[in-house]
């Protein structure tokens, strides 16, 4: 690390003035004296994530040849390696499945044209104000020949895409309100109507990007340096460190991270492991009746309404992307608030495995299989570790997380004891889950750091993968059930 010395003279170029108010190292000073008249961008962020140290993310590809190979393949296919992939690199098995599925949805043969696919991605990401994903697909949309006028706002897009706005809105925020009437409206819109195959493709894209927006905010993904909002031309100073140190993650920003361990809750992991053992023993000793299981589900669903999403000034403000969707005031609302009643969605009546999978595969061949592999990968992924503990069976914890998310959407598994959720998921974790799944744009670094404080960043990324895939499957279940109702 090069410590900085104050500049001894003023140097000017077309972009900025460097004075003795700024501290720069001798290497940067030597370069700046050349004064080539070129504006050099500097990253605004400190690595791919605001939540995870850059060195920890980049270390993964250095020690795992498989990750390096996946990154190379992704770069060859897309001409870029985005920060989402870098963070997902903690879990190469999942990343491989994710990239394969996303590539198929966006680039392989399918019912929708390429520019429609990217525009639907923009519409979906915009519902959660995810300017990162919006900007990514604005560029892709233009590269595949999309009409720039469509980017002025949804009202500039074809009527067929405008009609998709209602489905986008409901799926993103209140999927339990979706009915076959919404499906019929899209399929019988005369000259602007959708075919069933096109609608399936659109639904998968919408749910994919709603959930990916959750992951983006949940992991604090930052824009790449070449992207809108990812760079600045102004130099900065931080104590005795040069801007080049800050850009490379060597500044004081990591000191807080290094000291994080001193503030951890002692015994957090051991308590969680012990609770899992006790719950397993209770399972072996007695099994609750179906009536009791149903009561526990309703109790957990009601309690999930009382978990408030975050309202924090620390939220990173996104660029306004509301022109890409309609009714900006429409957002997440809990189920039975103000006396409203939504029937419980019973998985035994309509499940992904028995119903949704086959419907998707029939109308959009191979995609059902790709989605199923991705769901299974996230759900079953384990290294049998919890923080510093090895040889731990984490299946009970993973199932609790998955089922809690589905519970928030009113989806019930008859064979699951929802009493386990309160034993395994504390309130700070529930706040994080609900915020990331229902209002991801409100996710903050403080929330990310407040749960599982003794766990590794790779484990928290794994949690985010679970949340993302559980959310996507929940949305898909409601959409596919509505389509099935229309077809029958």
**Residue 367 in this model has a pLDDT that exceeds 50:** yes
What is the average pLDDT across 387-413? 95
**Residue 311 in this model has a pLDDT that exceeds 60:** no
Of 296 and 98, the structure prediction assigns the larger pLDDT to 98
Contact between residue 179 and residue 482 where contact means Cβ atoms under 8 Å apart: yes
Angle, CA of 95, 165 and 151, to the nearest 5°: 75
Catalytic residue among 25, 28, 130, 219: 130
Alpha helix ranges (H) inside 144-288: 159-163, 165-173, 180-187, 196-218, 243-247, 253-258, 268-285
Contact between residue 474 and residue 409 where contact means Cβ atoms under 8 Å apart: yes
pLDDT at 242: 52
Residue 423 to residues 69, 166, 182, Cα–Cα distance (Å): 40, 38, 39
Query: Given pLDDT bands bounded at 50, 70 and 90, which one contains residue 6?
Result: very low
**Residue 260 in this model has a pLDDT that exceeds 50:** no
Residues 271-287 pLDDT 10s: 999 999 999 888 777 77
Query: Given pLDDT bands bounded at 50, 70 and 90, which one contains residue 32?
Result: low
**Residue 19 in this model has a pLDDT that exceeds 50:** no
What is the average pLDDT across 378-397? 95
Residues 450-482 pLDDT 10s: 999 999 999 999 999 999 999 999 999 999 999
pLDDT at 343: 73
Residue 107 to residues 36, 114, 120, 148, 258, Cα–Cα distance (Å): 41, 7, 14, 20, 42
**Residue 342 in this model has a pLDDT that exceeds 90:** no
Q: Quick one: what percent of the chain has pLDDT higher than 70?
A: 74
CB neighbour list of residue 445: distance below 8 Å, 6 or more residues apart: 50, 51, 220, 314
- On the CB side of 62, CA atoms within 13 Å amount to 6
Query: Given pLDDT bands bounded at 50, 70 and 90, which one contains residue 353?
Result: very high
**Residue 379 in this model has a pLDDT that exceeds 70:** yes
pLDDT at 65: 87
Query: Given pLDDT bands bounded at 50, 70 and 90, which one contains residue 338?
Result: low
What is the average pLDDT across 13-22? 41
**Residue 9 in this model has a pLDDT that exceeds 70:** no
- CATH number of 61-223, picked from 1.20.1290.10, 3.40.50.10470, 1.20.1300.10, 1.20.1280.50: 1.20.1290.10
What is the average pLDDT across 311-330? 58
**Residue 1 in this model has a pLDDT that exceeds 70:** no
What is the average pLDDT across 419-429? 93
**Residue 22 in this model has a pLDDT that exceeds 80:** no
Q: By mean pLDDT, which of 26-40, 89-103, 123-137 is the weakest?
A: 26-40
Most confident of 73-77, 156-160, 222-226, 241-245: 156-160
Q: By mean pLDDT, which of 134-138, 170-174, 236-240, 397-401 is the weakest?
A: 236-240
Query: Given pLDDT bands bounded at 50, 70 and 90, which one contains residue 7?
Result: very low
Of 381, 361, 323, the C-alpha closest to 476 is: 361
To the query of whether residue 130 is one of the catalytic residues in this protein, the response is yes
pLDDT at 392: 95
- On the CB side of 230, CA atoms within 13 Å amount to 18
CATH 1.20.1290.10-classified regions of the chain: 61-223
Residues 186-197 pLDDT 10s: 999 788 899 999
């Amino acid at each position: 690390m090069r410590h900085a010395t104050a500049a001894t003279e003023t140097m000017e170029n077309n972009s900025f003035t460097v004075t003795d108010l700024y501290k720069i190292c001798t290497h940067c000073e030597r370069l700046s004296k050349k004064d080539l008249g070129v504006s050099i961008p500097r990253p605004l962020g400190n690595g791919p994530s605001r939540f995870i140290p850059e060195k920890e993310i980049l270390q993964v590809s250095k020690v795992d040849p498989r990750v390096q190979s996946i990154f190379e393949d992704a770069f060859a296919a897309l001409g870029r390696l985005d920060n989402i992939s870098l963070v997902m690199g903690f879990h190469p098995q999942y990343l491989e499945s994710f990239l394969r599925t996303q590539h198929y949805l966006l680039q392989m043969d399918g019912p929708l044209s390429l520019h429609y696919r990217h525009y639907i991605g923009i519409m979906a990401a915009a519902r959660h104000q995810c300017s990162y994903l919006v900007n990514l697909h604005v560029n892709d949309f233009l590269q595949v020949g999309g009409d720039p006028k469509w980017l002025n706002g949804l009202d500039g897009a074809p009527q067929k895409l405008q009609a998709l706005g209602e489905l986008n809105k409901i799926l993103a925020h209140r999927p339990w309100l979706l009915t076959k009437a919404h499906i019929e409206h899209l399929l019988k819109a005369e000259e602007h109507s959708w075919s069933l195959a096109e609608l399936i493709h659109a639904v998968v894209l919408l749910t994919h990007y709603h959930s990916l927006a959750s992951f983006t905010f949940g992991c604090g993904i930052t824009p790449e340096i070449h992207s809108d909002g990812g760079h600045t031309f102004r130099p900065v100073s931080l104590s005795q460190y040069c801007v080049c140190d800050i850009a490379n993650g060597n500044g004081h920003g990591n000191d807080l991270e290094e000291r994080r361990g001193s503030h951890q809750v002692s015994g957090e992991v051991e308590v969680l492991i012990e609770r899992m053992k006790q719950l397993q023993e209770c399972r072996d000793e007695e099994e609750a009746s179906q009536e009791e299981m149903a009561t526990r589900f309703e109790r957990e669903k009601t309690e999930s309404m009382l978990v408030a999403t975050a309202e924090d000034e620390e939220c990173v403000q996104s660029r306004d992307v509301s022109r890409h969707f309609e009714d900006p005031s429409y957002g997440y609302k809990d189920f039975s608030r103000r006396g409203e009643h939504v029937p419980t969605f019973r998985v035994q009546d309509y499940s992904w495995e028995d119903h949704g999978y086959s419907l998707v595969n029939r109308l959009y061949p191979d995609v059902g299989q790709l989605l199923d592999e991705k769901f299974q990968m996230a759900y079953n992924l384990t290294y049998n570790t919890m923080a510093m503990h090895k040889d731990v069976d984490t299946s009970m914890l993973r199932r609790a997380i998955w089922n809690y998310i589905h519970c928030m959407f009113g989806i019930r598994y008859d064979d699951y004891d929802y009493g386990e959720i309160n034993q395994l998921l504390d309130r700070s974790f529930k706040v994080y889950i609900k915020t990331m799944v229902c209002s991801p744009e409100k996710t903050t670094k403080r929330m990310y750091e407040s749960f599982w404080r003794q766990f590794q960043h790779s484990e928290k990324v794994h949690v985010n993968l679970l949340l993302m895939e559980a959310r996507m499957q929940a949305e898909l279940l409601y959409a596919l059930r509505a389509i099935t109702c229309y077809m029958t």
